Chain A
Amino acid sequence: MAADLAVDLAARLPSLLERTDPATASGWRDHPPRMGFFTDTTVCIGCKACEVACKEWNHVPEDGLELTGMSYDNTVGLGADSWRHVAFIEQPRRPARDPGTEATCAAASGVADAGIRWLMASDVCKHCTHAACLDVCPTGALFRTELGTVVVQEDVCNGCGYCVSACPYGVIDVRRGDGRAWKCTLCYDRISVGDEPACAKTCPTDSIQFGPLDELRERADRRLAQLHAAGVGDARLYGRDPDDGVGGDGAFFLLLDEPEVYGLPPDPVVTTRDLPEMWARAGVAAVALAGSVALSFLASTAGRQR
Chain B
Amino acid sequence: MAECHPVGFQWVMEAKARGATVIHVDPRFTRTSAVADIHVPLRAGTDIAFLGGLINYVLANGRYFHDYVVAYTNGPTLIGESFEDTEDLDGVFSGLDVEKRRYDPASWQYENAEMPSPAAEAPAAEGNAHQLSVATAGRGESHGSGGAQVPPEPERDETMTHPRCAFQIVKRHYSRYTPEMVEQVCGVPKDLFLKVAETITSSSGRERTTAFCYAVGWTQHTVGVQYVRAAALLQLLLGNIGRPGGGILALRGHSSIQGSTDIPTLYNLLPGYIPMPHANQDENLEKFVEATATAKGYWADMRSYVVSLLKAWWGPAATAENDFCFDYLPRLTGDHSTYATVTAQLDGTCKGYLIAGENPAVGSANAKMQRLGMANLDWLVVRDFSLIESATWWKDGPEIESGELETADIKTEVFFFPAAAHTEKNGSFTNTQRMLQWHHAAVEPAGQARSELWFYYHLGRLIRERLAGSTDEMDRPLLDLTWDYPTEGPLAEPDAGAVLAEINGWDSDKEPLSSYGQLEDDGSTACGCWIYCGVFADGVNQAARRKPGGEQSWVAPEWGWAWPANRRIIYNRASADPDGRPWSERKAYVWWDEKSARWTGHDVPDFPPSTSPRYRPPEGARGAEALSGIDPAVMQGDGKFWLYVPTGIQDGPLPTHYEPQDSPFPNLLYGIQRNPVRQLVSRRHNRYHPSPSAPGSEVFPYAVTTYRLTEHHTAGGMSRWQPYLAELQPEMFCEVSPELAEERGLEHLGWATIITARGVIEARVLVTERIPPLRFPGRTVHQIGLPYHWGPNGYTRGDAANELAAIALDPNVHIQEVKAFSADIRPGRRPRGPGRAALVEEYSRRAGITPDTGMEVTGGR
Binding site for B on A (CB under 8 A): 43, 45-49, 51-52, 55-56, 62-67, 69, 71-72, 74-75, 90, 92, 101-102, 104-106, 108-120, 204-206
Binding site for A on B (CB under 8 A): 2, 6-7, 9-10, 13, 29, 31-35, 38-39, 41, 183, 187-192, 195, 709-711, 723-731, 733, 737-739, 748-749, 764, 766, 768-770, 772-775, 780, 795-796
Chain A residues near B41 (CB-CB < 8 A): 111, 114
Pair B729/A204 contact, Cβ less than 8 Å? no
- B773 nearest in chain A by CB position: A112
Q: What is the bound-complex CA distance between A65 and B710, given in angstroms?
A: 17
Pair A102/B39 contact, Cβ less than 8 Å? yes
Smallest CB separation, B441 vs chain A (Å): 21
Q: What is the bound-complex CA distance between A203 and B284, given in angstroms?
A: 55
Pair A74/B31 contact, Cβ less than 8 Å? no
Pair A102/B764 contact, Cβ less than 8 Å? no
Chain B residues near A63 (CB-CB < 8 A): 727
Smallest CB separation, B152 vs chain A (Å): 46
Pair A205/B9 contact, Cβ less than 8 Å? yes
Pair B9/A62 contact, Cβ less than 8 Å? no
Q: What is the bound-complex CA distance between A46 and B13, given in angstroms?
A: 13
Pair A49/B728 contact, Cβ less than 8 Å? no
Chain A residues near B774 (CB-CB < 8 A): 111
Q: What is the bound-complex CA distance between A149 and B276, given in angstroms?
A: 63
A205 touching B183 in the complex, CB below 8 Å, given contacts A45-B34, A67-B733: no
- B40 nearest in chain A by CB position: A102
Pair B749/A111 contact, Cβ less than 8 Å? no
User: Which of B39, B739, B768, B796 is within 8 Å of A112, CB to CB?
Assistant: B739
User: Which of A47, A65, A72, A92 is within 8 Å of B726, CB to CB?
Assistant: A65
User: Which of B728, B769, B773, B796 is within 8 Å of A92, CB to CB?
Assistant: B769
A109 touching B190 in the complex, CB below 8 Å, given contacts A65-B727, A65-B730, A67-B731: yes
User: Which of B31, B38, B795 is within 8 Å of A118, CB to CB?
Assistant: B31
Chain B residues near A105 (CB-CB < 8 A): 189-192, 195
A45 touching B31 in the complex, CB below 8 Å, given contacts A62-B724, A67-B749, A92-B769: yes
A55 touching B724 in the complex, CB below 8 Å, given contacts A101-B191, A111-B772: yes
Chain B residues near A120 (CB-CB < 8 A): 31, 34
Q: What is the bound-complex CA distance between A100 and B724, given in angstroms?
A: 39
Pair B725/A206 contact, Cβ less than 8 Å? no
Q: What is the bound-complex CA distance between A109 and B194, given in angstroms?
A: 13
- B728 nearest in chain A by CB position: A48
Q: What is the bound-complex CA distance between A66 and B773, given in angstroms?
A: 28
Chain A residues near B34 (CB-CB < 8 A): 45-46, 117-120
Chain B residues near A115 (CB-CB < 8 A): 39
User: Which of B29, B31, B187, B727 is within 8 Å of A47, CB to CB?
Assistant: B31
- A106 nearest in chain B by CB position: B189
Q: What is the bound-complex CA distance between A136 and B271, given in angstroms?
A: 68
Chain A residues near B711 (CB-CB < 8 A): 48
- B732 nearest in chain A by CB position: A67
Pair A74/B766 contact, Cβ less than 8 Å? no
Q: What is the bound-complex CA distance between A69 and B741, given in angstroms?
A: 14
Residue from A48, A55, A110, A113 whose CB has the most chain B CB atoms within 10 Å: A113
User: Which of B29, B31, B727 is within 8 Å of A46, CB to CB?
Assistant: B31
Pair B730/A118 contact, Cβ less than 8 Å? no
Q: What is the bound-complex CA distance between A62 and B729, given in angstroms?
A: 12
Q: What is the bound-complex CA distance between A62 and B721, given in angstroms?
A: 12
Q: What is the bound-complex CA distance between A63 and B728, given in angstroms?
A: 10
Chain A residues near B766 (CB-CB < 8 A): 69
Known: A74-B728, A116-B770, A118-B29. 10 other contacts (CB 8 A): A48-B711, A65-B731, A67-B733, A74-B727, A101-B192, A112-B737, A112-B772, A113-B769, A115-B39, A118-B31
Q: What is the bound-complex CA distance between A205 and B22, given in angstroms?
A: 15
Q: What is the bound-complex CA distance between A69 and B729, given in angstroms?
A: 11
Pair A69/B772 contact, Cβ less than 8 Å? no
- B771 nearest in chain A by CB position: A113
Q: What is the bound-complex CA distance between A101 and B196, given in angstroms?
A: 11
A204 touching B728 in the complex, CB below 8 Å, given contacts A45-B2, A105-B192: no
Q: What is the bound-complex CA distance between A270 and B728, given in angstroms?
A: 32
Pair B7/A101 contact, Cβ less than 8 Å? no
Q: What is the bound-complex CA distance between A113 and B770, given in angstroms?
A: 8
Pair B730/A47 contact, Cβ less than 8 Å? no
27 A-B pairs whose Cβ atoms sit less than 8 Å apart in the complex: A45-B32, A45-B35, A48-B710, A48-B711, A51-B728, A52-B725, A52-B728, A64-B727, A69-B764, A71-B768, A75-B727, A92-B769, A101-B192, A101-B195, A105-B191, A105-B192, A106-B192, A108-B189, A109-B183, A111-B775, A112-B739, A112-B773, A118-B770, A120-B31, A204-B7, A205-B6, A205-B13
Q: What is the bound-complex CA distance between A181 and B189, given in angstroms?
A: 54
Smallest CB separation, B213 vs chain A (Å): 15
Q: 10 smallest A-B Cβ distances: which pairs?
A: A109-B189, A105-B191, A62-B723, A65-B730, A118-B34, A45-B2, A69-B749, A47-B6, A67-B731, A113-B769
- A67 nearest in chain B by CB position: B731
Chain A residues near B187 (CB-CB < 8 A): 111
Chain B residues near A67 (CB-CB < 8 A): 730-731, 733, 749, 764
Chain B residues near A116 (CB-CB < 8 A): 29, 769-770
Chain A residues near B723 (CB-CB < 8 A): 62
Chain B residues near A72 (CB-CB < 8 A): 31, 709, 729
User: Which of A45, A69, A74, A90 is within 8 Å of B769, CB to CB?
Assistant: A90
Chain A residues near B729 (CB-CB < 8 A): 72, 74
A49 touching B6 in the complex, CB below 8 Å, given contacts A62-B726, A108-B189, A111-B775: yes
Chain B residues near A62 (CB-CB < 8 A): 723-724, 726-727
Q: What is the bound-complex CA distance between A49 and B709, given in angstroms?
A: 13
Chain B residues near A118 (CB-CB < 8 A): 29, 31, 33-34, 770
Pair A47/B2 contact, Cβ less than 8 Å? yes
- B7 nearest in chain A by CB position: A204
Pair A108/B191 contact, Cβ less than 8 Å? yes
Chain A residues near B726 (CB-CB < 8 A): 62, 65
Chain B residues near A51 (CB-CB < 8 A): 724, 728
Smallest CB separation, B726 vs chain A (Å): 6
Smallest CB separation, A91 vs chain B (Å): 9
- B196 nearest in chain A by CB position: A102
A52 touching B724 in the complex, CB below 8 Å, given contacts A67-B730, A109-B189, A109-B190: yes
Pair B10/A206 contact, Cβ less than 8 Å? yes
Smallest CB separation, B762 vs chain A (Å): 13
Chain B residues near A43 (CB-CB < 8 A): 13, 35
Residue from A43, A51, A72 whose CB has the most chain B CB atoms within 10 Å: A72
Chain B residues near A102 (CB-CB < 8 A): 38-39, 191-192, 195
Chain A residues near B733 (CB-CB < 8 A): 67
Smallest CB separation, A72 vs chain B (Å): 7
Chain B residues near A101 (CB-CB < 8 A): 191-192, 195
Residue from B38, B187, B188, B728 whose CB has the most chain A CB atoms within 10 Å: B728
Pair A74/B730 contact, Cβ less than 8 Å? yes
Q: What is the bound-complex CA distance between A92 and B770, given in angstroms?
A: 9
Pair A66/B724 contact, Cβ less than 8 Å? no
Pair A113/B183 contact, Cβ less than 8 Å? no
Chain B residues near A75 (CB-CB < 8 A): 727-728
User: Which of B10, B725, B739, B775 is within 8 Å of A205, CB to CB?
Assistant: B10
Pair B10/A114 contact, Cβ less than 8 Å? no
Q: What is the bound-complex CA distance between A55 and B726, given in angstroms?
A: 13
Chain A residues near B770 (CB-CB < 8 A): 90, 116, 118
Residue from B39, B710, B724 whose CB has the most chain A CB atoms within 10 Å: B724
Chain B residues near A111 (CB-CB < 8 A): 41, 187-189, 772, 774-775
Q: What is the bound-complex CA distance between A190 and B577, given in angstroms?
A: 52
Smallest CB separation, B15 vs chain A (Å): 12
User: Which of A45, A48, A74, A108 is within 8 Å of B9, CB to CB?
Assistant: A45
Residue from B31, B33, B38, B766 whose CB has the most chain A CB atoms within 10 Å: B31
Q: What is the bound-complex CA distance between A109 and B182, given in angstroms?
A: 13
Smallest CB separation, B13 vs chain A (Å): 5
- A65 nearest in chain B by CB position: B730
Chain B residues near A66 (CB-CB < 8 A): 730
